[in-house]
Amino acid sequence: MKQITSVIIGSGSYIPNRTIKNEAFLQHTFYDEHHQLIDRPAQEIVDKFQAITGIEERRYVEDDLVASDIGAIAARRAIEDAGIDPETLDYIIVADNFGDVPAGFTQTDLLPSLASRIKQHLGIENPNCVSYDIIFGCPGWVEGMIQAYAFMRAGMAKRALIIGTETLSRVVDDYDRDGMIFADGAGAVVVEMAENEGERGILAVASQSYTKDEAGYLFFGKSNLPNADPNMGYIKMHGRKIYEFALSKVPEAIQNCLNKANLHIRDIKKIFIHQANEKMDHAIIKRLFKLYGEKDFDESVMPISIRFLGNSSVATIPTLFDLIRKAQLDDHGLHEGDYIVFASVGAGMNINAIAYRY
Instruction: Tell me the pLDDT tens digit for each residue of 109-132.
Output: 999 999 999 999 999 999 999 999
pLDDT for the residue numbered 222 = 93
- pLDDT tens digits for 76-94? 999 999 999 999 999 999 9
Kindly state the average pLDDT of the residues 303-323: 97
pLDDT for the residue numbered 297 = 87
Contacts of 22 (CB under 8 A, 6+ apart): 46, 49, 50, 55, 56, 57, 180
Confidence of residue 3 (pLDDT cuts 50, 70, 90): confident
Contacts of 232 (CB under 8 A, 6+ apart): 106, 222, 223
Contacts of 319 (CB under 8 A, 6+ apart): 13, 15, 74, 164, 185, 186, 187, 305, 309, 312
Give phi and psi for 143, each to the nearest 5: -65, -35
Helix (H, G, I), strand (E, B) or coil at 332: coil
- The answer to whether domain 3-196 and domain 202-357 are alike in fold is yes
pLDDT for the residue numbered 196 = 84
Q: Answer whether residue 105 shows pLDDT above 90.
A: no
Structural domain boundaries of the chain? 3-196, 202-357
CB–CB of 119/154 below 8 Å?
Answer: no
The C-alpha atoms of residue 271 and residue 258 are separated, in whole angstroms, by 12
CB–CB of 188/75 below 8 Å?
Answer: yes
For 139, 163, 330, the CA distances from 221, given in Å and listed in that order, are 21, 27, 39
- pLDDT tens digits for 36-63? 999 899 899 999 999 999 999 999 999 9
Q: Answer whether residue 1 shows pLDDT above 80.
A: no
Q: Which of 226, 189, 203 is nearest to 30 (CA)?
A: 226
CB–CB of 98/106 below 8 Å?
Answer: no
- pLDDT tens digits for 197-255? 778 999 999 999 999 999 999 999 999 999 998 888 899 999 899 999 999 999 999 99
> Side chain identity at 66, as an amino acid letter?
V
The model's pTM is 0.93
Q: Answer whether residue 180 shows pLDDT above 70.
A: yes
The C-alpha atoms of residue 188 and residue 49 are separated, in whole angstroms, by 29
CATH class of 202-357: alpha beta
At the fourth CATH level, the homologous superfamily of domain 3-196 is: Thiolase/Chalcone synthase (3.40.47.10)
